[in-house]
Amino acid sequence: MEIKNPGFITSSVSATSARNGPGTVSKVSHTLSECKEEDLALIKKALSVERFESHRKTASESDSVVFQRYQWNAALCEHFYAPLRILEVVLRNAFNEAIAGKAKPPDPNWLTTVPQWLRENERNDIVAAHDFLKERKRPITQARVVQEMSFGFWTSLLNSKYETLFHAIGAQVFPGMPRSARTRANASQRFEAIRALRNRIFHFRRIWNRQDLQRDYNEILEAIEWVDVNARRLLLPSDAVARFLVSLSERP
């Protein structure tokens, strides 16, 4: 089922207003006309030829243009860091609280042991987190384990194997998700797409070639509000969307 996007970003936000607003945004260019051939050779070596060339659109493009696109890609990725960070934090806290509360009796320390109702992959993730803390001689507390669990762990709880879990806690984890669309399948589809994009961003892969980065950004903002209706307003800088649009418009 396709969920309609409420449209957090619209074309009415101008690049000029973003530049004049809080947090000056600079253009991506780095005086590329002055970039010497020998410097570009060193840049290729530092990045690897394969990574550098992945930003080339046509064989006739100069290396300076390719490097400009690499820098543009890095700038675009940076705009996703804050909303992705916010989403990860609110999601893990929402799942943690909901699962702790559904136990009978409630168990606020459910991650300090390995719950046997989880699939093997998720149990192994918890064991790895415990081992990590033990190796560093840190106590295995609920708060520490929650922090060690990856974004992938939390999104895996939307897997089809956890349909019953979603029926029990879905409304608590996603109170801002439209009730008519609040299904495990819809949540899983959205968060799997976000996880895949997140992995590309944090592994320094190109994203400028995606079909619709504005939609990608919108869907992260919407997902934040599914989990916590106030988090985006309170935690994301007020000019974040405008600054993202400025960068998006500076396509080399």
Q: State pLDDT tens for residues 55-112.
A: 999 999 999 999 999 999 999 999 999 999 999 999 999 999 999 999 889 999 999 9
pLDDT score of 240: 97
What residues have CB less than 8 Å from 240, skipping those under 6 apart? 79, 82, 83
Q: Which band of pLDDT confidence, cut at 50, 70 and 90, is reported for residue 125?
A: very high
Looking at the chain, the whole-number percentage of residues with pLDDT higher than 90 is: 84
Task: Map out the domains of the chain as residue ranges.
Answer: 15-111+149-249
Looking at the chain, the whole-number percentage of residues with pLDDT higher than 70 is: 87
> Under a CB-based contact definition with an 8 Å cutoff, are residues 247 and 25 in contact?
yes
Q: Which band of pLDDT confidence, cut at 50, 70 and 90, is reported for residue 9?
A: low
147-164 pLDDT, tens digit each: 999 999 999 999 999 999
Provide the greatest CA pair distance for the chain. 68
Is residue 26 pLDDT above 60, yes or no? no
> Under a CB-based contact definition with an 8 Å cutoff, are residues 198 and 84 in contact?
yes
pTM: 0.86
